[in-house]
Structure 1
Amino acid sequence: MRQRLRSKILLVAMLALAGCQPGEANGDDAPLPALGLFGTISIYWGEESDVADFLDDTGEPDWVRASLEESFELVPLDALEDDMLAAMRFLILAQPRPLAPSENVALDRWVRAGGQALIFADPMLTRHSSFPIGDRRRPQDVVLLSPILARWGLELRFDDEQPDTEHWVTHARGSIPTRLAGEFALLPGEGAAACRLSAAGLVARCDIGEGHVTLVADAAVLDGDEAGFVSSDRRDSFVGLVDESFTR
């Protein structure tokens, strides 16, 4: 509870410094839609060691954040509870930590009420991190989302004998880069009837109640090299997934 309170206070302070509120544009421009961002991959904050380093703002933002901010007002979330999701219509989960039971319930309820989510669930994360293994600030190496996936009729599988090399998988709007990717499978039961698989099981699209979820069994599309460089093909692939996932 204290962590959530600190996060809310910090978010309000940052927005005050920026002179805007979530979903509110500066000047005469039309307001950008709010996009909740949750996960262990440091897309919004970067890998600065503390808040002071982040507010120093001397480095380049993560390319994923820069791409998203062309179309959305990003709202970083540290929990997926009802009060934090209430104001969101769009949500990205980037290699999320294991969800608490209340978060699984809140996320499912939010989607069924009309929420739209894009979830990167990587069973073997390959994105570079400057934090060593064991550091709590390091992104989650193995995603653990079985309860919510099962609720939606899905199972995430991983072939540990696949080669550790990047390759591109054909998808509806082009191709997606993958490396040590997982594969979704449909579970027997009513939940799976709402899901469709594509790209050899790499992508699942589930219509759940009034909302929908797009899930990718890998997060390699979010990778860049250690200097932050990203190819135009990778950027286009990511933007294509975002456009496919959200109806604005």
Structure 2
Amino acid sequence: MTEIISGEAVPEPIYAHWQARYKMEAVDSLEALPGSETDLIILAQPKAMDPADIAALDTWIREGGRAIILTDPMLVWPTELPLGDSRRPLATGLLSPLLDHWGLELLAPDETGSEVVELELDNLVIVTAGIGTFDLVDPANETNGQCTLSVGRVLAQCEIGDGQAILIADADFLNSGFWSDDKGWNAGQLSNAMKLADRLVSQLIGKTS
């Protein structure tokens, strides 16, 4: 809060990019979500959610809402914040109750999975680390949700009631520290990570700006 008040706080490039393209609002709770005019929810490595927030999100999506959810089982995001600091990125995703309700299980990579690698998603090559995968739990049961997995099982596209959710078992690709020397942020060109994020938004809400 001190950094925010003093003007020293600088948002991550991907967040600043989204702020410039969309009307965004950061929230601490989702209980007011049902009945709101929200077009899209983005959850990026969120902290453990209260049961009320999980229920509100699930209800909102079933009524036609759309969500992008990044849940990383092995986040490799360098930080100088000490252990116990609430601003420190979570090392692992904590959305198991929600994923289980939708028929998904998040799986962590093996011991070598924290290495920096190139990943191809939606015909874009992105640099990331700690990539997880999804598995379908009782796929024959479509009561709670119907999800299909991408090649490599890194991305899940789910039909939840009347709504949709796209889930990725990674969040490190948003870390600008992994972007190559042709970083779109500095050169005025979008990095592949930004392009991928924008494509996901466009796929769900049908607009690019």
Q: 1:234 pairs with 193, 205, 208, which one?
A: 193
Aligned partners of 2:29 and 2:102: how far apart in 1?
Answer: 20
Cα separation, 1, equivalents of 2:53 and 2:148: 24
Q: Alpha carbons of 1:175 and 1:192: their partners in 2 closer, same or farther (altered >3 Å)?
A: farther
- Percent identity over paired residues: 33
- TM-superposed deviation, 1:79: 1.1
2:152 partner amino acid: A
1:90 aligns with 2:40: yes
What's the TM-score, normalizing by structure 1?
0.71
After TM superposition, the score normalised by the length of structure 2 is 0.83
Shift of 1:157: 0.7
Give me the whole-angstrom Cα distance separating, in 2, the residues matched to 1:122 and 1:67.
21
Instruction: Structure 2: give runs of 5+ residues left out of the alignment.
Output: 184-190
* 8 Å CA contact 1:173, 1:240 repeated in 2: no
Q: 1:52-91 to 2 correspondence within 5 Å?
A: 52-58=2-8, 60-81=10-31, 83-85=32-34, 86-91=36-41
Q: Does residue 159 of structure 2 align to residue 207 of structure 1?
A: yes
Aligned to 1:131: 81
Distance 2:71 2:124 in 1: 20
CA contact (8 A) 2:132 2:154 kept: yes
1:127–1:242 distance in 2 versus 1, CA, 3 Å:
farther
Higher relative contact order (CA 8 A, sep 6+): 2
Which of 109, 112, 121 aligns to 1:162? It is 112
Match of 1:141 among 91, 95, 99: 91
Hey, what's the Cα distance between the residues in 1 that align with 2:69 and 2:147?
14
C-alpha displacement at 1:165, in angstroms?
1.7
Question: SS of the residue aligned with 1:114?
Answer: coil
**Paired residues of 1:121 and 1:217 also in contact (CA < 8 A):** yes
Aligned length: 195
Give how far 1:179 is off: 0.8
1:244 paired to 2:194: no
Asked whether the 8 Å contact 2:145–2:161 carries over to 1, the reply is no
Could you report, residue by residue, the CA deviation over 1:198-247 in whole angstroms, capped at 9, with x for unpaired residues? Answer: 14111101011121000010101111229xx9822333233333333433
**Contact conserved, 1:95 with 1:121, CA < 8 A, in 2?**
yes
SS in 2 for 1:205: strand
How many angstroms apart in 2 are the aligned matches of 1:124 and 1:89?
29
Alpha-carbon RMSD across the aligned residues, in angstroms, is 2.3
Pick from 72, 81, 91 the counterpart of residue 122 of structure 1.
72
Q: Distance in 2 between matches of 1:161 and 1:128?
A: 18
Instruction: Work out whether residues 202 and 217 of structure 1, in 8 Å CA contact, stay in contact via their aligned partners in 2.
Output: yes
Partner of 2:111, secondary structure, is coil
Counterpart contact for 2:61–2:163, Cα < 8 Å: yes
Secondary structure, in 3 states, of the residue corresponding to 2:107? strand
**Cα distance per residue 1:43-96 (max 9 Å; x no partner):** xxxxxxx1x421433564321112112321110110121x14523121100101
